[in-house]
Each structure stands twice: as C-alpha cells, then as structure tokens.
C-alpha cells in the first residue's frame, strides 16, 4: 500500500505519514524500483495507534516510548496506565482553572452591565478588564 493509501485509511495526510517515518515512529518503508514507498498493514495499524494515542493527549515523545516498550518485548500497558492517570489529573486541574476563569469572566461581565460608564481618562486601558484598578483610580481622584 502506498503512502496516500495509508493516509486515506487513517484520515491523515501523506506528509504526516512521512513525518512519522522521519521521527522513527513508523518503520522506513521499502521502495519500489520507481521510488514509491510501499507500506505494510502493520504500518497502517501503527499509524492508527499514533492517531488514537494523540486523541487521548499523548505527545509524540510519549508515543515513541510506548512503541519502544512494545517492540522491546515489554508490555506497555502499565506505562500507558500511568501516563493516562497523569493526563487525567492534569485535565482535572485544567478544568478547575477553566471553571475559575469562567466564574471570573461572568463576574466581570455582570459588573460591567451594572456599572455606569467611566470617563475614558479614568481607564488604564479598559475598566471591564481592569475592574479593581479602574475603581481604585476613580476613588483616588
């Protein structure tokens, strides 16, 4: 199967497949006399694995480690489980941070609706964003 066939099967570009090959994530494909790369079904399976792992948030370096473990005769599942636990913790932290940001944005918007329009000269740049500083600047004047 040619690079375009592998790419089409997994929904990537031929350039992505070649990139994975340059990184060593996919074995170099033998070439025909005309110079075309010919990939095996195993390559298709590996590229699909890479795509699935990326969808779960794995970096290419992490994927390389999992592939290394697999092809050195070790079961990579314990390593993958640890990585996924770490990703889940990180995701929970990000969700907390985003929820805090959502609350701050909502508070800022509510305050901006209820506030009388401040003179332009009072604003450092924008009193909606610089909520506390803009109000303290008004009080100082």
Taking every pair of C-alpha atoms in the chain, what is the biggest distance, in angstroms?
82
Report pLDDT digits (tens) over 32-88: 899 888 999 999 999 999 999 999 999 999 999 999 999 999 999 999 999 999 999
Local confidence band at 124 (pLDDT 50, 70, 90 cut-offs): low
The Cα 27–Cα 21 span in angstroms is 6
pTM for the structure as a whole: 0.73
Predicted confidence at residue 107, as pLDDT, reads: 86
Predicted confidence at residue 7, as pLDDT, reads: 93
The answer to whether residue 137 scores a pLDDT higher than 60 is: no
At CB < 8 A and 24+ separation, what contacts does 81-88 make? 83/58, 84/56, 87/56, 87/57, 87/58
The answer to whether residue 141 scores a pLDDT higher than 50 is: no
Report pLDDT digits (tens) over 84-119: 999 999 999 999 999 999 998 898 888 777 766 666
- Report yes or no: 23 and 48 within 8 Å, Cβ to Cβ: no
The Cα 123–Cα 116 span in angstroms is 13
The Cα 14–Cα 35 span in angstroms is 15
DSSP state of 31: B
DSSP state of 44: H
Predicted confidence at residue 114, as pLDDT, reads: 72
Token code pair at residue 21:
């090959």
């Amino acid at each position: 199967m040619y690079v375009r066939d592998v790419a089409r099967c997994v929904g990537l570009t031929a350039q992505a497949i070649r990139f994975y090959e340059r990184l060593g994530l996919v074995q170099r494909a033998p070439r025909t006399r005309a110079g075309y790369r010919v990939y095996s079904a195993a390559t298709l399976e590996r590229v699909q694995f890479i795509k699935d792992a990326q969808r779960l948030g794995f970096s290419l370096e992490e994927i390389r480690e999992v592939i290394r473990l697999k092809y050195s005769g070790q079961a990579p599942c314990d390593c993958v489980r640890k990585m996924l636990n770490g990703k889940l913790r990180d995701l929970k932290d990000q969700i907390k941070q985003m929820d805090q940001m959502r609350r701050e944005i909502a508070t800022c918007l509510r305050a901006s609706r209820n506030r009388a329009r401040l003179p332009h000269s009072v604003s450092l740049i924008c009193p909606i964003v610089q909520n506390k500083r803009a109000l303290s600047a008004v009080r100082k004047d």
